[in-house]
Amino acid sequence: MSPELVGVIGIIVLLLVLFLLGMPVGFAMAVVGFCGFAYLVSFKAAFGMVGTDIWGTFSKYGLTVIPLFILMGYLAFNSGIAEKLYNTAYKWVGHWPGGLAIATIAADEFFAAICGSNTATAATMAAIALPQMKKYNYDTRLSTGTVVTGGTLGTVMPPSVLLIIIGLQTEQSIIKLFLGGILPALLLGLLFVLTIVVLCRIYPEFGPPGPKTSFKEKIKSLTGVVEALSIFALVIGGLYAGIFTPTEAGAAGVLLTLIVTLPTRKLTLQGLINSFKDTLKISCMAFMLVTGALIFGRFLAITRLPFMVADFAASLPVSPYAILAIILIIYLIGGCFVDALGFLVLTIPIFFPLGKALGFEPVWFAIIITMVTTMGAITPPVGVNIFVVKALAPEIDLATIFKSACFFLIACIVCTIILIIFPQIVLVIPNMMR
Amino acid sequence: MAVLEKISNILNQVLLWIAGLFLLAMISITGANIILRLFGLPLRGTFELMGYFGAVVTAFALGYTQIKRVHIAVDIVVMRFSKKTQKILHTVNHLVCMAFFIIVTWQVSKYATTLWETGEVTETLQIVYFPFTYAVALGCLILAFTFFVDFLKSISGDQESSQ
């Protein structure tokens, strides 16, 4: 049997193990990669490989960035910062038609700048904004869609756990990926706002205007964004200026979030313990994904399958963008069934070399696939953000939340198309870095 | 079996607290290094200690993460099978994962023993680091034990908690 054929069989077995046994993605990749490696090389070599790879990955300095940024996000989640952000945005735009929904997106954008998690951003904002929107008689078709989709900004706006994992897996600069995510996240937020404005024009009952606030109140409320902005400026600014490594930026972010929130007494001891527990769970899951992908990647590398697929695709007499369209459709469909992080880790060993062979800029390609996979978080049947919001608002039925998210899905698709047509939106800031 | 489950829960809780302390140490070391570096006094060996502490953090959280079912899995197909089929699939799943992590424990501890016997030390601090490698092996062993408890639960028909 040729190594390439073994590679194809390996992928089929992996999918069977994933879907039929329900084995977690990280473990499945490690087990199948181990077996394939043992078949092609030897059991002795495979034993040695898992031992050194697991120790090597777990103890790698570059990976210590993962728990630190996750902890920073959880501390922010438990700290009350999001509430202040929402209040500021609410004071400024709450009196517009759909203003509370716009305020939610604005607060999401700021919160995403200190929290790298899609679900944490959605959960935080759902808890704060949904009761407010209910109070001012917002239609649930607008309010739920806003909190569900606003969460996706968390994966594109740095610091993003998803971008960290892609960076580690594809050996790219995490800093450049972070910088590449800033403008797309702002563009996506803008398109969400546009969606709300259009919806409220067509259906004024969706988002009746809230109470007006005085100019003095507006100015006073600006203090609410100082904390989030200063944390973001220190972390991303420090990275950009080369003062910090990504790990140091994560640690600095954790310390600064603590310094900012401890005096407010919003963060309780239980909140702190919960933040640590959640961080340990999520970062352990992420480490296992990276390790599984590494072991599976070792197997795929000796089959030469990724290179063969890449060479084949590059030699096809069609535009690279036609192949990109197929890749994106796979990500869009895959993201609907598998968690975004799991699906990305699973597919990167095949699609990243392919993207490179097609001549796509790696930072741009990473941002595009992140955007597309994240859409899975707001689409049925595995839309994780939808279930997060459902858990917080049990009285609203799932179908309404899904339908509501669909309005915003159009914005996500338009955003991706704009980024494909104008890749410089992604690349302008990373390219400024020397 | 309830006793085994209790032992697994206690072991994983203890390891989780140790992992939490190591995470705290990671933040403190890096924070101290950033501040001391401003005064031209960087903390020696920060990079290597961070890597080894990170290894303990991850390895000691493995079992707890499994108990809480946080590892990303795709259960959309499995859920459509009958309860009986689900039970068989869960049993196989847990057995395979347990076997794999027994192999990992064996290989990582073998590597740790080699590091111990050859007296391998870190580059900057010149300290032995095999205890951290053994710690990773321990974390993997406890994960294998957690899978063993899950396996027992799935064959005994405790469906809800064995998924």
The three-point CA angle A420-A422-A424 to 5° equals 115
CA-based nearest distance B157→chain A, Å: 16
**Nearest Cα residue in chain B from A72:** B27
The whole-angstrom distance between A57's CA and the closest CA on chain B is 8
pLDDT averages per 10-residue partition of chain A, 434 residues: 91 90 92 96 96 95 93 88 90 93 94 87 90 90 93 92 93 95 97 96 93 90 89 91 92 93 85 94 93 92 89 89 93 83 89 92 96 86 82 86 90 96 97 82
Cα of A28 to nearest chain B Cα, Å: 8
What is the 3-state secondary structure of B86-151?
HHHHHHHHHHHHHHHHHHHHHHHHHHHHHHHHHCCECCCCCCECHHHHHHHHHHHHHHHHHHHHHH
Per CB-CB distance under 8 Å, the chain A contacts of B100 are 27, 30-31, 34
Give me the pLDDT at residue A382, please: 72
| Residue of A13, A14, A15, A23 to mutate for B, most B C-beta atoms under 10 A | A23
- State how far Cα A198 lies from the chain centre: 26
pLDDT digits (tens, 9 = 90+) for B50-72: 999 999 999 999 999 999 999 88
* Facing B132 at nearest CB: one of A30, A59, A61: A59
Name, in order, each residue with C-beta under 8 angstroms of A43's C-beta and a sequence gap of 6 or more: none
Closest CA to A281 of A54, A120, A394: A120
The ipTM (two decimal places) reads 0.94
Q: Which among A111, A143, A147 has a CA at the least distance from the CA of A210?
A: A143
Peptide bond between residue A211 and the one before it cis (omega within 30 degrees of 0): no
Give the position of tokens 């993207």: A355
- At A80 the pLDDT is 83
For residue A397, what pLDDT is reported?
A: 87
Quick check: B104 and A51 CB within 8 A? Answer: yes
The beta-carbon neighbor of A55 closest among B16, B74, B136 is: B136
Could you tell me if residue A203 is left (phi over 0), alpha (psi between -120 and 50 degrees) or otherwise beta? beta
B163 pLDDT higher than 80: no
Q: Residue type at A401?
A: I
Residue of A404 and B116 predicted with greater confidence: B116
pLDDT at position B158 is 63
Q: What is the pTM of this model?
A: 0.89
Provide the token pair at B109: 């501890």
Chain B residues touching A282 at Cβ < 8 A: 70
